[in-house]
Protein backbone atom coordinates (compact mmCIF):
# COMPACT_ATOMS: atom_id res chain seq x y z
CA UNK A 1 0.00 0.00 0.00
CA UNK A 2 1.42 3.35 -1.01
CA UNK A 3 2.31 5.76 1.75
CA UNK A 4 0.79 9.21 1.69
CA UNK A 5 3.11 11.98 2.80
CA UNK A 6 1.52 15.21 3.92
CA UNK A 7 3.65 18.28 3.41
CA UNK A 8 3.72 20.77 6.24
CA UNK A 9 2.56 24.18 5.17
CA UNK A 10 4.93 26.82 6.43
CA UNK A 11 3.31 29.63 8.36
CA UNK A 12 3.92 33.08 6.92
CA UNK A 13 6.63 35.12 8.61
CA UNK A 14 5.48 37.52 11.31
CA UNK A 15 6.11 41.25 11.45
CA UNK A 16 6.34 43.09 14.77
CA UNK A 17 6.63 46.90 14.78
CA UNK A 18 7.72 48.90 17.81
CA UNK A 19 6.47 52.47 17.47
CA UNK A 20 6.85 55.55 19.61
CA UNK A 21 5.91 59.21 19.65
CA UNK A 22 9.46 60.53 19.28
CA UNK A 23 13.16 59.65 19.44
CA UNK A 24 14.24 58.60 22.91
CA UNK A 25 11.10 56.83 24.14
CA UNK A 26 13.01 53.54 24.21
CA UNK A 27 11.81 51.64 21.13
CA UNK A 28 15.17 50.16 20.18
CA UNK A 29 16.16 49.42 23.78
CA UNK A 30 12.94 47.54 24.52
CA UNK A 31 13.05 45.72 21.17
CA UNK A 32 16.60 44.53 21.90
CA UNK A 33 15.73 43.64 25.48
CA UNK A 34 12.85 41.52 24.17
CA UNK A 35 15.28 39.94 21.71
CA UNK A 36 17.65 38.94 24.50
CA UNK A 37 14.82 37.38 26.49
CA UNK A 38 13.64 35.54 23.39
CA UNK A 39 17.16 34.26 22.65
CA UNK A 40 17.38 32.89 26.19
CA UNK A 41 14.24 30.89 25.44
CA UNK A 42 16.04 29.14 22.59
CA UNK A 43 14.81 31.22 19.64
CA UNK A 44 17.33 31.85 16.86
CA UNK A 45 17.25 35.66 16.72
CA UNK A 46 19.93 37.92 15.23
CA UNK A 47 20.53 41.60 14.54
CA UNK A 48 20.36 42.67 10.92
CA UNK A 49 20.80 46.28 11.91
CA UNK A 50 20.54 48.16 15.20
CA UNK A 51 21.45 51.76 16.00
CA UNK A 52 22.53 52.58 19.56
CA UNK A 53 23.04 56.33 18.87
CA UNK A 54 25.75 56.19 21.52
CA UNK A 55 23.30 55.27 24.29
CA UNK A 56 25.08 52.96 26.74
CA UNK A 57 21.93 51.13 27.83
CA UNK A 58 21.15 50.24 24.21
CA UNK A 59 24.75 49.18 23.53
CA UNK A 60 24.54 46.81 26.49
CA UNK A 61 21.50 45.11 24.94
CA UNK A 62 23.33 44.63 21.63
CA UNK A 63 26.38 43.02 23.23
CA UNK A 64 25.07 39.46 23.63
CA UNK A 65 23.21 39.19 20.33
CA UNK A 66 24.61 37.83 17.08
CA UNK A 67 25.06 40.56 14.46
CA UNK A 68 24.98 39.84 10.74
CA UNK A 69 27.79 41.98 9.23
CA UNK A 70 26.68 44.92 7.13
CA UNK A 71 27.43 45.27 3.44
CA UNK A 72 29.89 47.91 2.22
CA UNK A 73 28.59 49.95 -0.73
CA UNK A 74 30.87 52.45 -2.51
CA UNK A 75 29.10 55.75 -3.15
CA UNK A 76 30.73 58.89 -4.54
CA UNK A 77 34.18 57.85 -3.40
CA UNK A 78 33.09 56.85 0.09
CA UNK A 79 32.43 53.37 1.45
CA UNK A 80 29.06 53.31 3.23
CA UNK A 81 27.46 50.46 5.16
CA UNK A 82 23.95 49.10 4.73
CA UNK A 83 22.10 46.07 6.05
CA UNK A 84 23.03 42.95 4.06
CA UNK A 85 19.71 41.26 3.30
CA UNK A 86 21.40 38.57 1.18
CA UNK A 87 23.62 37.60 4.12
CA UNK A 88 20.59 37.55 6.44
CA UNK A 89 18.72 35.26 4.06
CA UNK A 90 21.76 32.99 3.80
CA UNK A 91 21.96 32.85 7.61
CA UNK A 92 18.15 32.45 7.74
CA UNK A 93 17.43 32.92 11.45
CA UNK A 94 13.96 32.54 12.87
CA UNK A 95 13.81 36.27 13.62
CA UNK A 96 15.88 39.29 12.65
CA UNK A 97 16.06 42.74 14.25
CA UNK A 98 15.87 45.63 11.75
CA UNK A 99 16.10 49.09 13.31
CA UNK A 100 15.45 52.51 11.70
CA UNK A 101 12.60 51.31 9.49
CA UNK A 102 12.10 54.63 7.64
CA UNK A 103 15.71 54.75 6.44
CA UNK A 104 16.47 55.37 2.75
CA UNK A 105 19.18 53.03 1.50
CA UNK A 106 22.34 54.19 -0.23
CA UNK A 107 22.01 54.29 -4.04
CA UNK A 108 23.22 50.97 -5.37
CA UNK A 109 21.50 48.99 -2.63
CA UNK A 110 19.20 46.13 -3.54
CA UNK A 111 16.10 48.06 -2.46
CA UNK A 112 15.42 51.79 -2.26
CA UNK A 113 13.92 51.78 1.23
CA UNK A 114 14.57 49.72 4.33
CA UNK A 115 10.92 48.76 4.70
CA UNK A 116 11.28 47.11 1.28
CA UNK A 117 14.21 45.12 2.71
CA UNK A 118 11.90 44.02 5.51
CA UNK A 119 9.23 42.89 3.06
CA UNK A 120 11.83 40.83 1.20
CA UNK A 121 12.94 39.17 4.44
CA UNK A 122 9.34 38.38 5.34
CA UNK A 123 8.81 36.85 1.89
CA UNK A 124 11.87 34.69 2.58
CA UNK A 125 10.14 33.29 5.67
CA UNK A 126 12.08 35.24 8.30
CA UNK A 127 10.22 36.95 11.14
CA UNK A 128 11.13 40.63 11.49
CA UNK A 129 11.07 42.97 14.48
CA UNK A 130 11.50 46.61 13.57
CA UNK A 131 11.18 50.07 15.14
CA UNK A 132 10.00 53.45 13.88
CA UNK A 133 8.76 56.80 15.16
CA UNK A 134 5.15 57.71 14.42
CA UNK A 135 6.10 60.86 12.48
CA UNK A 136 7.45 58.65 9.69
CA UNK A 137 4.01 57.24 8.88
CA UNK A 138 3.23 58.56 5.39
CA UNK A 139 -0.31 59.81 5.95
CA UNK A 140 0.73 61.75 9.07
CA UNK A 141 3.42 63.62 7.17
CA UNK A 142 1.49 66.86 6.60
CA UNK A 143 0.15 67.04 10.16
CA UNK A 144 3.60 66.45 11.67
CA UNK A 145 5.23 68.98 9.36
CA UNK A 146 2.74 71.64 10.48
CA UNK A 147 2.98 70.84 14.18
CA UNK A 148 6.73 70.30 14.42
CA UNK A 149 7.61 73.03 11.91
CA UNK A 150 10.03 70.63 10.29
CA UNK A 151 10.13 68.46 7.19
CA UNK A 152 10.02 64.69 7.66
CA UNK A 153 11.57 63.36 4.46
CA UNK A 154 11.76 59.64 5.22
CA UNK A 155 8.36 57.95 5.42
CA UNK A 156 6.83 54.49 5.56
CA UNK A 157 3.55 53.74 3.74
CA UNK A 158 0.49 52.91 5.82
CA UNK A 159 0.08 49.67 3.88
CA UNK A 160 3.27 48.42 5.54
CA UNK A 161 1.70 48.95 8.98
CA UNK A 162 -1.34 46.98 7.87
CA UNK A 163 1.00 44.07 7.15
CA UNK A 164 2.08 43.98 10.82
CA UNK A 165 1.00 41.07 13.00
CA UNK A 166 1.89 42.99 16.15
CA UNK A 167 2.29 46.71 16.84
CA UNK A 168 3.91 47.56 20.17
CA UNK A 169 3.51 51.17 21.26
CA UNK A 170 6.34 52.34 23.53
CA UNK A 171 4.65 55.07 25.53
CA UNK A 172 6.39 57.66 27.68
CA UNK A 173 4.82 60.76 29.18
CA UNK A 174 5.79 64.09 27.66
CA UNK A 175 7.47 65.27 30.87
CA UNK A 176 9.49 62.06 31.18
CA UNK A 177 10.65 62.36 27.58
CA UNK A 178 11.68 65.99 27.97
CA UNK A 179 13.56 65.10 31.17
CA UNK A 180 15.43 62.37 29.31
CA UNK A 181 16.39 64.95 26.72
CA UNK A 182 17.67 67.35 29.40
CA UNK A 183 19.72 64.53 30.96
CA UNK A 184 21.55 64.00 27.67
CA UNK A 185 20.04 60.56 27.08
CA UNK A 186 18.71 61.41 23.61
CA UNK A 187 20.88 64.09 21.98
CA UNK A 188 24.23 65.72 22.67
CA UNK A 189 24.12 68.57 25.25
CA UNK A 190 24.56 71.30 22.63
CA UNK A 191 21.34 70.20 20.88
CA UNK A 192 19.12 70.02 23.97
CA UNK A 193 17.80 73.58 24.22
CA UNK A 194 17.07 73.86 20.51
CA UNK A 195 15.25 70.51 20.57
CA UNK A 196 13.17 71.52 23.60
CA UNK A 197 12.08 74.67 21.80
CA UNK A 198 11.24 72.90 18.53
CA UNK A 199 10.44 69.22 17.99
CA UNK A 200 10.31 68.43 21.71
CA UNK A 201 7.82 71.19 22.51
CA UNK A 202 5.08 69.94 24.83
CA UNK A 203 2.32 70.65 22.31
CA UNK A 204 4.07 68.78 19.54
CA UNK A 205 4.93 65.80 21.75
CA UNK A 206 1.36 65.60 23.02
CA UNK A 207 0.09 65.45 19.44
CA UNK A 208 2.63 62.79 18.46
CA UNK A 209 1.83 60.73 21.54
CA UNK A 210 -1.88 60.87 20.73
CA UNK A 211 -1.20 59.83 17.13
CA UNK A 212 0.96 56.94 18.31
CA UNK A 213 -1.69 55.67 20.72
CA UNK A 214 -4.45 56.10 18.14
CA UNK A 215 -2.50 54.31 15.40
CA UNK A 216 -1.86 51.36 17.69
CA UNK A 217 -5.52 51.22 18.69
CA UNK A 218 -6.60 51.31 15.04
CA UNK A 219 -4.23 48.47 14.20
CA UNK A 220 -5.56 46.33 17.03
CA UNK A 221 -9.15 47.10 16.05
CA UNK A 222 -8.51 46.28 12.39
CA UNK A 223 -6.82 42.98 13.24
CA UNK A 224 -9.69 42.04 15.54
CA UNK A 225 -12.26 42.91 12.88
CA UNK A 226 -10.35 40.87 10.30
CA UNK A 227 -10.26 37.89 12.65
CA UNK A 228 -14.00 38.12 13.29
CA UNK A 229 -14.69 38.25 9.57
CA UNK A 230 -12.48 35.26 8.74
CA UNK A 231 -13.96 33.23 11.58
CA UNK A 232 -17.52 34.12 10.64
CA UNK A 233 -18.19 35.54 14.08
CA UNK A 234 -20.26 38.42 12.79
CA UNK A 235 -21.91 39.59 9.63
CA UNK A 236 -19.60 41.98 7.82
CA UNK A 237 -21.24 45.37 7.23
CA UNK A 238 -21.47 46.96 3.79
CA UNK A 239 -17.86 48.02 3.20
CA UNK A 240 -16.90 51.66 3.01
CA UNK A 241 -14.89 52.69 -0.05
CA UNK A 242 -12.72 55.76 -0.55
CA UNK A 243 -11.89 57.49 -3.83
CA UNK A 244 -9.13 60.07 -4.25
CA UNK A 245 -9.38 62.15 -7.42
CA UNK A 246 -5.88 62.49 -8.81
CA UNK A 247 -4.52 65.36 -10.84
CA UNK A 248 -1.06 66.27 -12.12
CA UNK A 249 -0.90 69.43 -10.02
CA UNK A 250 1.86 69.91 -7.44
CA UNK A 251 0.61 69.07 -3.96
CA UNK A 252 -1.57 66.13 -4.97
CA UNK A 253 0.36 63.97 -2.49
CA UNK A 254 -1.66 65.70 0.24
CA UNK A 255 -4.85 64.22 -1.21
CA UNK A 256 -3.32 60.76 -1.16
CA UNK A 257 -2.33 61.06 2.48
CA UNK A 258 -5.79 62.24 3.45
CA UNK A 259 -7.43 59.43 1.47
CA UNK A 260 -5.15 56.78 2.94
CA UNK A 261 -5.82 58.07 6.43
CA UNK A 262 -9.59 57.92 5.93
CA UNK A 263 -9.31 54.42 4.50
CA UNK A 264 -7.17 53.38 7.46
CA UNK A 265 -9.72 54.63 9.98
CA UNK A 266 -12.52 52.87 8.12
CA UNK A 267 -10.45 49.73 7.46
CA UNK A 268 -11.64 50.04 3.88
CA UNK A 269 -10.43 49.68 0.32
CA UNK A 270 -9.55 52.86 -1.53
CA UNK A 271 -8.90 54.01 -5.06
CA UNK A 272 -6.68 56.67 -6.59
CA UNK A 273 -8.49 57.65 -9.78
CA UNK A 274 -7.13 59.70 -12.67
CA UNK A 275 -9.20 60.70 -15.68
CA UNK A 276 -7.23 61.07 -18.88
CA UNK A 277 -8.87 63.37 -21.41
CA UNK A 278 -7.82 62.55 -24.99
CA UNK A 279 -8.08 66.22 -25.98
CA UNK A 280 -6.09 67.49 -22.97
CA UNK A 281 -3.59 70.08 -24.20
CA UNK A 282 -1.27 69.30 -21.30
CA UNK A 283 -1.11 65.62 -22.19
CA UNK A 284 2.38 66.04 -23.64
CA UNK A 285 3.80 67.93 -20.66
CA UNK A 286 6.72 65.77 -19.43
CA UNK A 287 6.75 67.37 -15.96
CA UNK A 288 3.04 66.71 -15.47
CA UNK A 289 3.47 63.14 -16.70
CA UNK A 290 6.36 62.60 -14.27
CA UNK A 291 4.31 63.97 -11.37
CA UNK A 292 1.43 61.66 -12.27
CA UNK A 293 3.76 58.65 -12.25
CA UNK A 294 5.07 59.69 -8.83
CA UNK A 295 1.55 60.11 -7.45
CA UNK A 296 0.53 56.70 -8.77
CA UNK A 297 3.61 55.09 -7.22
CA UNK A 298 2.89 56.81 -3.91
CA UNK A 299 -0.76 55.72 -4.05
CA UNK A 300 0.26 52.09 -4.51
CA UNK A 301 2.76 52.37 -1.64
CA UNK A 302 -0.05 53.68 0.55
CA UNK A 303 -2.24 50.72 -0.34
CA UNK A 304 -4.51 52.21 -3.00
CA UNK A 305 -5.74 50.58 -6.17
CA UNK A 306 -4.76 52.95 -8.98
CA UNK A 307 -7.44 53.40 -11.63
CA UNK A 308 -6.92 55.13 -14.99
CA UNK A 309 -10.08 56.23 -16.80
CA UNK A 310 -10.35 57.79 -20.24
CA UNK A 311 -13.18 60.19 -20.95
CA UNK A 312 -13.67 63.58 -22.57
CA UNK A 313 -15.67 64.63 -19.52
CA UNK A 314 -13.91 64.28 -16.16
CA UNK A 315 -17.12 64.70 -14.17
CA UNK A 316 -18.92 61.95 -16.08
CA UNK A 317 -16.06 59.51 -15.55
CA UNK A 318 -15.76 60.16 -11.81
CA UNK A 319 -19.53 60.02 -11.25
CA UNK A 320 -19.83 56.76 -13.18
CA UNK A 321 -16.95 55.14 -11.29
CA UNK A 322 -18.25 56.29 -7.89
CA UNK A 323 -21.70 54.88 -8.61
CA UNK A 324 -20.41 51.59 -10.01
CA UNK A 325 -18.08 50.98 -7.06
CA UNK A 326 -20.47 52.27 -4.37
CA UNK A 327 -17.92 54.83 -3.19
CA UNK A 328 -18.74 56.28 0.24
CA UNK A 329 -15.95 58.86 0.69
CA UNK A 330 -14.37 61.10 -1.95
CA UNK A 331 -11.32 63.36 -1.67
CA UNK A 332 -11.01 66.28 -4.08
CA UNK A 333 -8.28 68.87 -4.39
CA UNK A 334 -9.31 72.49 -4.21
CA UNK A 335 -9.71 73.91 -7.70
CA UNK A 336 -6.97 76.17 -9.05
CA UNK A 337 -9.43 77.90 -11.39
CA UNK A 338 -10.81 81.36 -10.75
CA UNK A 339 -14.26 81.84 -9.24
CA UNK A 340 -15.53 83.38 -12.50
CA UNK A 341 -14.24 80.46 -14.55
CA UNK A 342 -16.05 78.02 -12.26
CA UNK A 343 -19.28 80.02 -12.48
CA UNK A 344 -19.00 80.17 -16.27
CA UNK A 345 -18.03 76.58 -17.05
CA UNK A 346 -18.97 74.76 -13.85
CA UNK A 347 -16.74 72.58 -11.68
CA UNK A 348 -16.16 68.85 -11.39
CA UNK A 349 -16.86 69.04 -7.66
CA UNK A 350 -20.20 70.84 -8.01
CA UNK A 351 -21.35 68.48 -10.72
CA UNK A 352 -20.31 65.49 -8.62
CA UNK A 353 -22.17 66.77 -5.56
CA UNK A 354 -25.31 67.38 -7.58
CA UNK A 355 -25.47 63.85 -8.99
CA UNK A 356 -23.94 61.51 -6.40
CA UNK A 357 -25.87 61.02 -3.17
CA UNK A 358 -24.92 59.57 0.22
CA UNK A 359 -21.23 60.28 -0.25
CA UNK A 360 -18.95 62.12 2.15
CA UNK A 361 -16.78 64.60 0.25
CA UNK A 362 -13.61 66.18 1.58
CA UNK A 363 -11.92 69.06 -0.23
CA UNK A 364 -8.21 69.45 0.49
CA UNK A 365 -6.41 72.79 -0.05
CA UNK A 366 -3.84 72.51 -2.82
CA UNK A 367 -0.53 74.20 -3.48
CA UNK A 368 -1.15 77.42 -5.37
CA UNK A 369 0.67 77.79 -8.69
CA UNK A 370 3.51 80.28 -8.65
CA UNK A 371 2.88 83.49 -10.56
CA UNK A 372 5.59 84.83 -12.79
CA UNK A 373 7.10 88.09 -11.69
CA UNK A 374 6.29 91.08 -13.87
CA UNK A 375 8.94 93.28 -15.39
Domain boundaries, the chain: 15-230, 241-364
Centroid of chain to Cα 134: 9
Whole-number pLDDT of residue 370: 40
Contacts for 31 with CB less than 8 Å, ≥ 6 apart:
18, 97, 99, 129, 130, 131
Note the pLDDT tens digit of each residue in 212-260. Answer: 888 877 776 677 667 666 777 655 456 788 999 999 999 899 899 989 9
Whole-number pLDDT of residue 178: 95
Whole-number pLDDT of residue 269: 87
* pLDDT over 70 at 340, yes or no: no
Q: What percent of the chain has pLDDT over 90?
A: 51
Domain 241-364 top-level CATH class: alpha beta
pTM equals 0.69
Task: Report the alpha-carbon distance of residue 156 to residue 98 in Å, rounded.
Answer: 14
Domain 15-230 identical in fold to domain 241-364 = yes
| Fold of domain 15-230 | Rossmann fold (3.40.50)
The answer to whether residues 333 and 367 touch, using CB atoms and an 8 Å cutoff, is no
- What is the average per-residue pLDDT within 308-320? 92
Question: With helix as H, strand as E and coil as C, how does 89-142 read?
Answer: HHHCCCEEEECCCCCECCCCCCCCEHHHHHHHHHHCCCEEEEEEEHHHEHHHHH
- What is the average per-residue pLDDT within 115-127? 97
At 344, the pLDDT band (50, 70, 90 cuts) reads very low
- Parallel, antiparallel, or unpaired for β 127-133 and 15-20? parallel
Amino acid sequence: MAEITLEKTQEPAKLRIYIGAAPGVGKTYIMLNDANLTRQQGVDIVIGLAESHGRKETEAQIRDLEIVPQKVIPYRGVNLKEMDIDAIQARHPQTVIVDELAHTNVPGSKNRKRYEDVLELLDAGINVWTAVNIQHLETLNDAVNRSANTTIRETVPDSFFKRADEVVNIDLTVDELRNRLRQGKIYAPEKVEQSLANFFRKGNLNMLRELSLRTTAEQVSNRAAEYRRTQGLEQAPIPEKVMVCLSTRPGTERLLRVGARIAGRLASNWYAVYVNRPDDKGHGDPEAYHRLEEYQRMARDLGAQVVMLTDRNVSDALIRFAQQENISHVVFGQSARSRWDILWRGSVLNRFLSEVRDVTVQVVPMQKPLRRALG
